[in-house]
């Protein structure tokens, strides 16, 4: 039975393009079906471009711009993958600060495939057990994480998975973590990060 997250606002942070579409649409649907309110956040207004591997797919309307909204407006964060998507986001200061703020506030975060690159940039994986697309493993280990090869891993409110093949497990676990709410251990872990960015801006 799916956990009930009625009324919970869930931010989906993506770049303007390079998103692996299924890693956006399937978790989005899972949040909606559980009663949640998914919100598409990007670095600029307009529409974002989804991809099926290297081929352009659909576009999706942006609900909020990352520099104009903050983690305090949401109950959880989902980070879809794709190679170009997180690779771009980790160069955007507002996106890094937005992500780090969820950890400071103890809120659930779910990242799949290449998306943990953004977690590395936000310096929030130190001392955590995670998984990812195999090519991201070295970056995570160098950032202080313990990497394991499992379809889904949960550590103090952080959910990670490897590839689209793991989406069923990923979706179930992210909804479960959102239903559980804030994790004090998540916030304590963020407090121990010595060089982490500051929290996000308030949403208007």
- Residue 114 annotated in active site: yes
pLDDT in tens, 112-122: 999 999 999 99
* Mean pLDDT along residues 174-183: 92
Domain for residue 195, yes or no?
no
Number of compact structural domains in the chain: 1
Helix (H) or strand (E) holding 50: strand 47-52
* Mean pLDDT along residues 26-30: 98
Please, where are the H alpha helices in the chain?
Answer: 21-33, 84-89, 93-104, 116-121, 137-142, 167-180, 184-191
Its domain, for residue 161, covers 9-189
pLDDT confidence of residue 194: 40
Domain for residue 134, yes or no?
yes
User: Domain with 117 in it: what CATH number?
Assistant: 3.40.50.880
Domain for residue 72, yes or no?
yes
Domain for residue 202, yes or no?
no
Query: What is the chain's mean pLDDT, rounded?
Result: 92
d(CA 204, CA 36): 20
Domain for residue 2, yes or no?
no
Domain for residue 197, yes or no?
no
**Of these residues, 100, 114, 183, 201, which one is catalytic?**
114
């Amino acid at each position: 039975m799916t956990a009930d997250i009625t009324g919970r606002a869930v931010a989906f942070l993506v770049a303007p393009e390079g998103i692996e579409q299924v890693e956006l649409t399937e978790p989005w649907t899972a949040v909606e079906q559980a009663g949640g309110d998914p919100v598409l956040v990007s670095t600029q207004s307009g529409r974002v471009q989804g991809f099926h591997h290297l081929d352009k797919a659909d576009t999706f309307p942006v609900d909020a711009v990352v520099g104009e909204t903050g983690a305090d407006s949401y109950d959880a964060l989902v980070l879809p993958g794709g190679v170009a998507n997180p690779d771009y986001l980790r160069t955007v200061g507002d996106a890094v600060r937005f992500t780090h703020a969820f950890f400071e506030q103890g809120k659930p975060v779910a990242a799949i495939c290449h998306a943990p690159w953004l977690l590395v940039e936000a310096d929030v994986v130190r001392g955590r057990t995670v998984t990812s697309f195999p090519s991201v493993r070295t970056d995570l280990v160098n950032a202080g994480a313990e990497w394991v090869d499992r379809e889904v891993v949960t550590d103090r409110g952080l959910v990670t998975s490897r590839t689209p093949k793991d989406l069923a497990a990923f979706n179930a676990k992210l909804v479960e973590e959102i239903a559980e709410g804030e994790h004090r251990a998540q916030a304590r872990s963020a407090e121990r990060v010595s060089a982490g960015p500051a929290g996000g801006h308030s949403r208007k």
